[in-house]
Structure formats: structure tokens, C-alpha cells
Structure 1
């Protein structure tokens, strides 16, 4: 298998011969990793349940974790799911890589479609399954929303959406997602929405594909799946707690597959994750921090405050040159957009001319870094 280097590897190569300006403290705004301590009550739960390391965890997850996730889905999206419609997972990255292998294993000429730019694990799964790829290109002309081409979608086995979107911070309304649900039923493809940023919204709550499925009259979630994670929500990427929910017929067989994968979460992590999924107060506090960072960005860079995520998708003349200049003169790292996307059939990469900025620091560090970026843009 010939996998592409990860965007961060490409960034390291781009900057490897550059010595950054030592007059500035380093500022790394490349990775979507919250730079805040995991809340104390979650850490305490982990410590208090460390004694459970002596036990093997269940592949399907403990009931305490399942109940917490189902409670989260109910309280957050007003959607009831039962145990047959849910699998707790070891984060979502492993699901995004192994679920396509499970789903497409008996397809001789499988076809995957996913948003472009994208989280690179989507591409890794396509390579691992030897699937043909259809890129759903996101650009300014389509307001960073995937265009619908039914002729192409009719050939798909799996379509992966990612809204709220990384890296463009665009959103789909529940009505727009319901349209995709109807297409999944019409053309019989599996539709998955990666909702890992659903809880990092700035004003109104953002919808889930599960709500859209209900709106479309698809109460059984046929062909519809959602994945979500605690990483951004609770500043706890190290807990590796996620879930996949939706079509119980698909999940029944996927659960069998997972017993062979060996990715069960350790019990102390499951109990700590259950504690985190069950609490909303700490998430509200984090949202205020991220929203304030967007307010600062609007003040300094003039960027609009998006509906969700903690990313700025900043337009620049030449992303590669800007990234090198910013690092060399101002000791700030950002990620060129072309590293997060691939060329379309016209040879156009929708990430060209953009950099992704992750606003995951506190107010002081965020303001300092954005002022440096502004200076660099003004040169």
C-alpha cells in the first residue's frame, strides 16, 4: 500500500532548513489538539478506576459508558438510540480506517466519496480498500459545501461527510443533511458523518446526521451512521473515547468484526470517558474559550466568526511561501491548505491559497500569535 505522508510530515519537510526567529516564543497552531488541562473530575475518575486494569475490557464497551453516550445523544440531539444502534470505540480514527475495510471487503470495485479537503485517514482507508475515490470538493464557489452529483453518487458504496468541517469550518443545516440521507436511501450507499467538532459551536447548537435521518423519515437510520469523539469536547484526546451510531443492521456485523480487531478501550478509560460524556458544564466552559478566540481573530485579522470548530481557514496568496515566512520571521507554525486536500479532475487543489490555523491556545497566546500573523500578512 502506498500511503501519502501525513500533513504534519509534509510541514516538517517544508520547514526543515529554516531557522525560526528566536526573538519570539514558538507558537504552534497546526494541530487540532486542545491546549488545556483535561478537567480534574475526569482525571479523578481515571485515577479512581485504575484498579480495573487487572480486567479485560469488553469489545462492545461497559454499560456505564454505553449509557453515558446514549444519554449524551438524547440530551444533545433529542434522539433516542438503543444498544443495538451504538458501539463505543477507541476514538474515531480507528473507526474511520477499519470501518471501510469491514464494509467494502467483499466489493471488487468499491467506490468511496468524501469531502476535500479532508482528514487524511479517509484517504488512508480508501487506499487500504483499493477503492476508487470521488472527491466532494469544498471551495469558496460552493460556500465550502459538497455539491450533489447523483450520477456519481449512484456509483458509491460509502460517502463520508465531515460537518462541522475540518478544516474549512463550514456547516450543513439539518435540512441539507436530510437531503444527503435521502440520497443514501435512493442510491443505496452508506452515509457517514464525522461529527467530532459538533460540540465546539459558537452560538446555536449544530445538528447531527441522526436528527437529519429522523427529519427525512428514516427513523431506523438505514444506511446512516455517525461518529463522534470526546477529544475536542472534553480536552481529552488521550482518553480515546468515541462512538459510532446508527443503522443497527450494519453495526451488528461490524461488532463481530471488531472482536477480531482488538481495539477495546481499557476499563479505567471507559469509566473516565463515561464521566466526561455525562457532563455538559465543562464543555460549555471550553466553548466560551474557543468563541472568544474567534472574536479575537475577527478583531485582529478581520475573519468571520464561524458556526463551529476552532479553525480559521485563512486565504493567502501563496500558502507554502507564507508558511515558511511566518515560521522564519515570526516563529509561528500554521498548516498549508494544499497538504489537507488533493487535486480534482481539473488539476485544481481546493486547499491551495489557504492555511489552517488551530485556535486551541488561551487568550494571551492566541492574541500574540494572531498579531504576528497579521504583521506577516501586512509585509
Structure 2
């Protein structure tokens, strides 16, 4: 298998011979890793359950964790899932890599579609699955929402959407999602939405594909799946707690597959994750921090505040030269959009992750503005 170099490795190569201006403290806005402390009640739950390390965890997850996840879905999306319709996972990266391999393993010449630019694990999964790839381009011209070409989609076995979107911060509305559900049923492909940024929004809560499935008169979620995670919502990426939910016919067989993968979450992590999934107040507090960061960026850079995520998809012209110049002159790292896309998508943009506190964010965007003005 020949995997593409990861974006952060490409960035290291791009900047390796550049010496940044030491008058500035370094600021990295490259990775979508929240820089806020994990709430104390979560870390306390982890410590309190440390004695459970003596026990093997079940792949299916403990009842407390499954109940907490189902409770989150009910509170947030007003959907009551059966226990058979959700599987806890060790974060979402591992499932995004192994689920396509599971799903496509018995299909001759499988075809997988996903949004472009993208989280690179989608591409890695396609390579590992031996799948032909259809890129769903997200551009300024289409408002960073994929166009629907039924002729192309008719040949797909798995379609991965990602809304709210990383890196463009675009949001897909309920009716448009419902159209995608109808296509999944008509052409019999599995439709999965990566919803890991669903809780980081500025005003209106983004919809879930599960809600869109009900809207499309598909309450059993046939061919429909979603994934989610506490990493962003709870500032707890180290907990590695995610889930996949939806079509129980698919999940039943996927659960059997997972028993062979060996990716069960340790019990102390499961108990801490259950606490995180069960609480909403801390998520509201984090949302306010990201909203404040966007307000600062709007004030300094004149951007339109995105509806969700904590990313700015900033148009800069030559994104590679801008990234190098910003690092050299102002000691700020951002991620070139071309590292996140294929077929020319992402060129001319950089992704800026506003994951720092307000003071650091203000300093960072001032430097970005100075670099833009100097270009």
C-alpha cells in the first residue's frame, strides 16, 4: 500500500529550512486540538476508575458508556436509539480507517466517495480498501457544499460526508442532507456523515444525518450512519471516545468485526467518557470560547464568522508562500489548504485552527493580518 504523506509531515518539510523571527513567541494554529483544559469532573472520573485497569474491557463498551452516548443523541438530536443502533469506538480515527475496509471487503472493484478537501484518514481507508475514489469537491463557487451528480453516485458503495466540515467550516442544512439520504436509498450505497464538529457551533445547532434520515422517511436509518466524538466538544482528544450509530443491520456485522480488531477502550477511559457524554454545561462553555475567538478574528481579519467548527478557511493567494512567510516573519504556523485536498482543491487557502485562548488568538490573528498586508 502506498499512503500519502500526512499534512503535518508535509508542513514540517515545507518549513524545515526556515528560521522564524525569534522576537515573536511561536504560535501553532495547525492542528484541530483544543488547547483548553479537560474539565475536572472528567479527569476525576478517570482517576476514580483507575483500579478498573485490572479488567479487560469489552469491545462493545460498558452499559454506562452506551447509555451516556444514547442520552447525548436523545438530548441533542431528539432521537431515541436502540442499543443495537450504536457502537462505542476508540475515537473516530480508527473507525474511519477500518470501517470502510470492513464494508468494502467483499465487493469487487469498490468505489468510495468523500468530500474534498478532507480529513486524510478517508483517503487512507480508500487505499487500504483498494477502492476507486470519487472526490466530492468543496469550492468557493459551490459554497463548499458538494454538488450531486447521480450518474457518478450510482456507482458508489460508500459515501462519506463531513458536516460541519473540516477544513472549510461549511454546514449542510437538513433538507440537503435528506436529499443525500434519498440518493443512498435509491442507489443503495452506505452514507456516513462525520459529525465530530456538531457541537462546536456559533448560533444554530447543525443537524445530524440521523435527523435527515427521519426527514427522508427512513426512520430505521437504512444505509445511514453517523460518527461523533468527545474530542472537540469536551476538549478531551486523549480520551479517544467516539461512536458510530445508525443502521443496525450494518452495525451488527461491524460489531463482530471489531471483536477481532482489538480496539476496545480501557475501562477508566470509558467511565470518564461516560461522564463527558452525559454533561452539556461544559460544552456550552467551550462553545463560548470559540465564539469569542471568531469574534476576534472577524474584528481583525474582517472574516465572516462560520456557523460551526473552530476553523477559518482563509483565502490567501499562494498558500505555500504565505505559510512560509507567516512562519519566517511572524513565527505563526498554519496549514496550507493544498495539503488537505486533491486535484487542485484547497489551493489558495490556509486552514487556521482557533483553538487557543482569546489573548493568544488576538496575537495570532494580528500577525496573520500583518502578513496579509505585507504580501
* Aligned counterpart, 2:353: 358
* Aligned counterpart, 2:134: 134
* Aligned counterpart, 1:225: 225
Q: Distance in 2 between matches of 1:141 and 1:93?
A: 30
1:122 maps to 2:107? no
* Per-residue deviation, 1:14: 0.1
* 1:205-354 equivalences in 2 (<5 Å): 205-343=205-343, 349-354=344-349
Task: State the Cα deviation string for residues 308-362 of structure 1 (Å, max 9, x = none).
Answer: 000000001100000000000000000000000000xxxxx12000000000000
Q: CA RMSD in A?
A: 0.4
Flag as ranges the 4+ runs of structure 1 deviating above 3 A: none
* Aligned counterpart, 1:167: 167
1:146 maps to 2:146? yes
Structure 1 gaps of 5+ residues are: 344-348
Task: State the Cα deviation string for residues 40-66 of structure 1 (Å, max 9, x = none).
Answer: 000000000000000000000000000
Q: Distance in 1 between matches of 2:339 and 2:306?
A: 22
Task: State the Cα deviation string for residues 270-310 of structure 1 (Å, max 9, x = none).
Answer: 00000000000000000000011000000000000111000
Q: Could you say what secondary structure the match of 1:140 adopts?
A: coil
Q: Could you say what secondary structure the match of 2:141 adopts?
A: helix
Structure 2 gaps of 5+ residues are: none
Q: Could you say what secondary structure the match of 2:233 adopts?
A: coil
* Per-residue deviation, 1:108: 1.6
* Aligned counterpart, 2:107: 107
Q: Distance in 2 between matches of 1:189 and 1:34?
A: 34
* Per-residue deviation, 1:133: 0.2
Q: Could you say what secondary structure the match of 1:134 adopts?
A: strand
Q: Distance in 2 between matches of 1:95 and 1:178?
A: 24
* Aligned counterpart, 2:95: 95
Q: Could you say what secondary structure the match of 1:112 adopts?
A: strand
* Aligned counterpart, 1:370: 365
* Per-residue deviation, 1:67: 0.3
Q: Distance in 2 between matches of 1:350 and 1:341?
A: 5
* Per-residue deviation, 1:255: 0.3
State the TM-score, normalizing by the size of structure 2: 0.99
* Aligned counterpart, 2:188: 188
Task: State the Cα deviation string for residues 85-123 of structure 1 (Å, max 9, x = none).
Answer: 000000000010000000000112000000000000000
Q: Could you say what secondary structure the match of 1:193 adopts?
A: strand
Q: Distance in 2 between matches of 1:307 and 1:316?
A: 21
Q: Distance in 2 between matches of 1:197 and 1:228?
A: 8
Q: Distance in 2 between matches of 1:206 and 1:147?
A: 19
Task: State the Cα deviation string for residues 213-261 of structure 1 (Å, max 9, x = none).
Answer: 0000000000000000000000000000000000000000000000000
* 1:71-90 equivalences in 2 (<5 Å): 71-90=71-90
* 1:3-42 equivalences in 2 (<5 Å): 3-42=3-42
State the TM-score, normalizing by the size of structure 1: 0.98
Q: Could you say what secondary structure the match of 1:231 adopts?
A: helix
* Per-residue deviation, 1:167: 0.2
